[in-house]
Amino acid sequence: NAGVTQTPKFQVLKTGQSMTLQCAQDMNHEYMSWYRQDPGMGLRLIHYSVGAGITDQGEVPNGYNVSRSTTEDFPLRLLSAAPSQTSVYFCASSYIGGSSYEQYFGPGTRLTVT
Amino acid sequence: QQPVQSPQAVILREGEDAVINCSSSKALYSVHWYRQKHGEAPVFLMILLKGGEQKGHDKISASFNEKKQQSSLYLTASQLSYSGTYFCGTSNTGNQFYFGTGTSLTVIP
């Protein structure tokens, strides 16, 4: 099993550009989520999904879109990048009822917006 | 909704003990504990699902006081490998998950 994979590992964007961060898992987990990690702020939930076709907002959803067309994939789209979105982004997955089960994290994507 | 962790940072010598606390202003459904090494992803340590539950493996254990909306992580006889940032994660609904700001733990020889 590859677990949770994320691409790219590093990305530099100019303000206003858009891009998609990819996340995939091969554990047949129904629950998937995106976090951003900023110094001193811990991990903050952006969006999450409890299954294909079902997504919901987390704590800091503004400026991000998600979709879940398959169980395996959960891409995160930045619509118009801003310097405030410079961060490390982690995707995670777990069995349904995310808070009752261990979350498996991907290796992260380090994004810089200039 | 973000839980509060204390202390923010702690430095230990090998063999010493440490306690990391996590408290929430909301009723908790569960508490998770994770450790993150620099430049890596968080790694799961344990989950506590019931008030009063205690868990542990090796020399790391945790307790969950549901009434006080608090959890504590206990590291005994610390080893160099325990160094990293520890996060608690809490949920009061089952699907929305909130992490604390982290506690940096450094173990020195």
Over the stretch B50-107, which tens digit does the pLDDT of each residue have? Answer: 666 666 677 899 998 888 889 999 999 999 999 999 999 987 766 778 899 999 999 9
pLDDT confidence of residue B50: 67
Count interface pairs A-B at CB distance under 8 A: 72
Q: Taking an 8 Å Cβ-Cβ cutoff, which residues of chain A contact chain B?
A: 31, 33, 35, 40-45, 48, 50, 56, 58-59, 90, 97-108
* Phi and psi angles of residue A29, each rounded to the nearest 5 degrees, phi first: -80, 135
Q: B89: which chain A residues are within 8 Å (Cβ-Cβ)? A: 43, 99, 103
Instruction: Quote the minimal CA–CA distance from A25 to chain B in Å.
Output: 15
Instruction: Let me know the angle formed at the C-alpha of B73 by A101 and A36, rounded to the nearest 5 degrees.
Output: 55
- Omega within 30 of 0 (cis) for the link into B7: yes
Choose among B2, B44, B97: nearest Cβ to A99: B97
- Which residues, including other chains, have CB under 8 Å from residue A103's CB and lie 6 or more apart? A33, A92, A93, A94, B32, B34, B42, B44, B89, B97
State chain A's mean pLDDT as an integer: 93
pLDDT confidence of residue A46: 96
Q: Which pLDDT band holds residue A108 (cuts at 50, 70, 90)?
A: very high
Whole-angstrom CA distances from B12 to A32, A79, B16, B34, B78 are: 36, 44, 6, 19, 8
Q: Answer whether residue A101 shows pLDDT above 80.
A: no
- Which residues, including other chains, have CB under 8 Å from residue B57's CB and lie 6 or more apart? B46
d(CA A70, CA B85): 33
Whole-angstrom CA distances from A13 to A3, A6, A29, A86, B60 are: 27, 17, 31, 9, 41
B77 and B15 Cβ atoms separated by less than 8 Å: yes
- The residue that leads in pLDDT, A40 or A69, is A69
Over the stretch A30-61, which tens digit does the pLDDT of each residue have? Answer: 999 999 999 878 899 999 999 999 999 999 99
- The residue that leads in pLDDT, B31 or A1, is B31
Burial of A48-66, coded b for 16+ CB within 10 Å and e otherwise, reads bbbebeebeebbbbeebeb
pLDDT confidence of residue B55: 66
